[in-house]
Amino acid sequence: MVSHVRCESRRPGHPWRGAITIRTKRTPRSTQVFATITAVYIIIGPLRNALRKGHAGLDGVARGGQYPRVNAKALPSRVVTPMLAAILLFAAGCVAARQSPARPTPGLVQHVVLCWLREPRNAADREALIDASQALTDIPGLLSLRTGTALPSERPIVDSSFDLALIMTFTDEAAMRTYLNHPLHVTLVETQVRPRVARLLVYDILETPADAERERP
């Protein structure tokens, strides 16, 4: 996102212009709106007061275009300070937004793991992984665990080269995140998966609300 804030004095003989260009990454819309409104308020307030006191002489225009004598250094100093304050406020809001953790997306999550064995088609290694994976069912939030093998296909768009598939269903994204760091999962990967599996491919699938509604009795 790019935000631009501009200030300008049109007093003859002492023109002054200022501009802020702020670039940020993916901040919530509420943070963007709040920071922009605050920046404009902070900048316009002192500028309006300066104009009323004669720094840009709006009253002078009504009196025949005669502007009062002013200190040329006064206007920039009165505006630059609040401009810097606006930049700091905007930056603080962006940093706070980036540091806040992303909220987990609600809905069932299908976690599909495809395994290619170091010894392809080794039935003993495949059965050992299937048996060891049953320990994962004790992890909170894991609703079901299914296993399977590739269905041979001659279609070019189908990859049937993997040896084993694990299909897990979680209550939501937060439960899947818990599973990833759970000691049972970490132990399984270190003691069973790494010694036997040469390659892994994972798909995380979020069920849409329409799917959940259709499954309700």
Classify strands 2-9 and 109-117 as parallel, antiparallel or unpaired: unpaired
% the chain with pLDDT above 70:
48
Sign of CA dihedral 167, 168, 172, 177: negative
Residues 6 or more apart whose Cβ sits within 8 Å of residue 52: 58, 59
Q: What integer pLDDT is reported at residue 61 of this predicted model?
A: 45
Cα→Cα distances 9→13, 18, 72, 79, 82, Å: 10, 9, 11, 11, 16
Tens of pLDDT, residue by residue, the chain (217 residues): 545 545 555 555 555 555 555 555 555 566 665 666 665 566 566 556 655 555 444 444 445 555 455 454 455 555 555 555 556 655 555 555 555 555 666 899 999 999 999 999 999 999 999 999 999 999 999 999 999 999 999 999 999 999 999 999 999 999 999 999 999 999 999 999 999 999 999 999 999 876 555 655 5
Q: What is the mean pLDDT of the chain?
A: 75
Cα→Cα distances 20→2, 45, 191, Å: 10, 16, 56
Using the structure block, give the residue that is written with the tokens 């048996």.
Answer: 131
Report the run of H or E that residue 41 belongs to, with start and end. helix 29-52
Query: How does DSSP classify residue 26?
Result: S
Whole-model pTM: value is: 0.53
Amino acid identity of 35?
A: A
Q: What integer pLDDT is reported at residue 153 of this predicted model?
A: 95
Give me the domains of the chain, ranges plus CATH numbers: 2-99 (no CATH), 109-215 (3.30.70.100)
Cα→Cα distances 38→42, 85, 88, 190, Å: 6, 10, 11, 52
Q: What integer pLDDT is reported at residue 12 of this predicted model?
A: 57
Q: What integer pLDDT is reported at residue 109 of this predicted model?
A: 97
For 107-129, what is each residue's pLDDT tens digit? 999 999 999 999 999 999 999 99
CA atoms of 142 and 13, how far apart (whole Å): 74
Q: Which two tokens stand for residue 163?
A: 């040896």
Q: What integer pLDDT is reported at residue 106 of this predicted model?
A: 80
